[in-house]
Chains A and B, each alone.
Chain A
Amino acid sequence: MIIQDIQNEIIDEFALFDDWMERYEYMIDLGKSLPLINDQFKTEDNLIKGCQSKVWVHAEMKDDLVIFTADSDAIITKGIIAILIRVFSNQHPKSIIEANTDFIDEIGLKEHLSPTRANGLVSMIKQLKMYALAYQTQLN
């Protein structure tokens, strides 16, 4: 599925929630249920120091698609990571570079991607794009 379609799918899913509580409960469930990263990749090199919460990101390329795995020590941050991974992972590097994150506003989670939030997510998205750019260079 292309990135835009996944984003629309997520927007539709979030439209079913009545209030913030339900949205957060869903994110917390996502955060609890997913093993997002292999422990061997939870290294200092893969760590984004977000000040408030820590975020680990690992990337690899398989069949010209970038596979991302990531994790956080805070569960709400981890829930948002799960959503971001669903959008960005398993995609062609070029699509990742070109994608935006406007859908986050539409699902009511804008504040978590504020640069002043210090939860590591803004740096994480930057990092995902950096990896994509690096893999894209390899493909050229």
Chain B
Amino acid sequence: MKNKIEHSKFDVENIRKDFPILSRKVNEKQLVYFDNAATSQTPQVVIDAIVDYYSNYNANIHRGVHTLSQEATDKYETARQKIQEHFNAKERHEIIFTSGTTHSINLVANGFASILKPEDEIIVSALEHHSNIVPWQMLCEKTGAKLKVIPMNQSGELVMADFESILSNQTKLVFVNHISNALGTINPIETIIEMAHQVGAAVLIDGAQACPHIKPDVQALNVDFYVASAHKMCGPTGVGMLYGKEEWLNKLPPYQGGGEMIAEVTFEKTTYANLPHKFEAGTPNICGGIAFGTAIDYMNTIGFDTIATYEEELLVYATHKLLEIEGLKIYGTSKYKTSVISFNIENIHPYDIGTIVDKLGIAVRTGHHCAQPIMDFYNIPGTVRASFSFYNTKEEIDTFVNAVKRAAKMLT
């Protein structure tokens, strides 16, 4: 069959069978899910892990001597080990379970409140998600420290020369996302970490958008903190992780008080538990943590090299096809980007395109993607963002491109 689109060796049709949701219909059309940068879909093995937990060993962890509690604790700690191995952390207790990236960032920001002084400075990038801006603004308000911003250029890349000029001995903390959620740009975090360390600043990398596409090695990166969410990498919502170097995690005070995080309590004094429990007050999302481990196993079975190669193929194909549409402009044109395409069509509001393509069964994100400073930079109200995952196909891209053409025709 000559007209069948060829994919690389990777068998996407087989992979798609792992995701029950991909066979559903939306507005009587076959679903095309291109909102993967907001949340990824869930494979059957992860759904099974969730059902298994509640069906067979639902219990509170680290506390009971009974069998169920032991089983739940073992599985939860095994999940922590899987995460440790995946990110290549040196110690298992350097992995803290959180409710997600935002929680992880706030945990670190809160910890730095007791470290920063008014003359200190924090640097963030212009490519940040709101969740990576607001906690630092709050921290600056609390401590009197100053917030500085690494600017971006028209291609959606950070201007590294400007980073060098704002970096100084006063810089205590640098926060950059590994990959921009709005534009897909892969930031040069290796260089950023190295430069920040030269002035003695700590570095936190937001890996929420990177982890679905690449496998970060926190030791090789020599990063101080790295954060991610399970729901962007085939896991459930409401769970994520914070990696922190042991010496940093020991330096930071606990974030929340509660059960699990204490060693000894009297009314006079409380001794905090050791890592990682010091940062895990209360009953955690046990099922979510375990399913996060399953999701990581699932993605590793496919392999991140395979995923990256295939998604690159989708990105190139979609970019080429979309640019055939008259008046279409892509925002974020860095050479180093993941499978995210943010675009607008001349004189058409992104909301209108999103509404029409939804009617055609296609899920894309429209709006400012919680990155208003980027939209202000381009002087646009928002964009249409299509983000692809390894379970998407070129046929779906064709369906999408035709839908956008149809929307453009209706709207002009």
A: which residues have CB within 8 A of B? Answer: 20-21, 24-25, 28, 51-54, 73-77, 118-119
Contacts and interface: CB of A to CB of B under 8 A. Distances in A.
B351 A77 contact: yes
A74 B27 CA distance: 22
Contacts of B349: 53, 73-75
B367 A25 contact: no
Given A52-B351, A52-B366, A119-B351, A25 B381 contact: no
B1 interface: no
Contact of B367 (A24, A52, A75, A77): A52
Interface stretch (B92-100, B226-234, B352-360): B352-360
16 contacts: A21-B359, A24-B359, A25-B410, A28-B410, A28-B411, A51-B367, A52-B367, A53-B349, A53-B381, A73-B381, A75-B352, A76-B351, A76-B352, A76-B355, A118-B367, A119-B351
Contacts of B411: 28, 75
Interface of B: 27, 348-352, 355-356, 359, 366-368, 381-382, 410-411
Contacts of A53: 349, 351, 381
Interface centre among A51, A54, A74 (most CB of B within 10 A): A74
A118 B367 CA distance: 10
Contacts of B359: 20-21, 24
B351 A24 contact: no
A53 B382 CA distance: 9
Contacts of B367: 51-52, 118
B369 to A, nearest CB: 11
Contacts, number: 40
Contacts of B410: 21, 24-25, 28
Contact of B352 (A20, A51, A74, A118): A74
B366 A24 contact: no
A25 B368 CA distance: 26
Given A24-B359, A53-B349, A77-B351, 14 more contacts: A21-B359, A24-B410, A28-B352, A28-B411, A51-B368, A52-B350, A52-B351, A73-B381, A75-B348, A75-B349, A75-B352, A75-B411, A76-B351, A76-B352
Nearest to A20: B359
A52 to B, nearest CB: 5
A75 B349 CA distance: 7
A41 B108 CA distance: 46
A76 B27 CA distance: 18
Contacts of B351: 52-53, 74, 76-77, 119
A54 B356 contact: no
A77 B352 CA distance: 8
A76 B381 CA distance: 15
Contacts of A75: 348-349, 352, 411
A54 B381 CA distance: 9
A124 to B, nearest CB: 14
B357 to A, nearest CB: 12
Nearest to A77: B351
A84 B92 CA distance: 59
A25 B355 CA distance: 12
Contacts of A119: 351
A91 to B, nearest CB: 28
A73 to B, nearest CB: 6
A66 B222 CA distance: 65
A75 to B, nearest CB: 5
Nearest to A119: B351
Interface centre among B348, B349, B352 (most CB of A within 10 A): B352
Nearest to B367: A52
Q: Which 10 A-B pairs have the closest CB atoms?
A: A74-B349, A74-B351, A52-B351, A53-B351, A52-B367, A76-B352, A74-B352, A75-B352, A76-B355, A20-B359
Nearest to A25: B410
Contacts of A77: 351-352
A45 B239 CA distance: 41
A76 B348 CA distance: 10
Contacts of B27: 20
Contacts of A76: 351-352, 355-356
A119 B351 CA distance: 8
B356 A24 contact: yes
Interface centre among B351, B359, B410 (most CB of A within 10 A): B351
Contacts of A28: 352, 410-411
A51 to B, nearest CB: 6
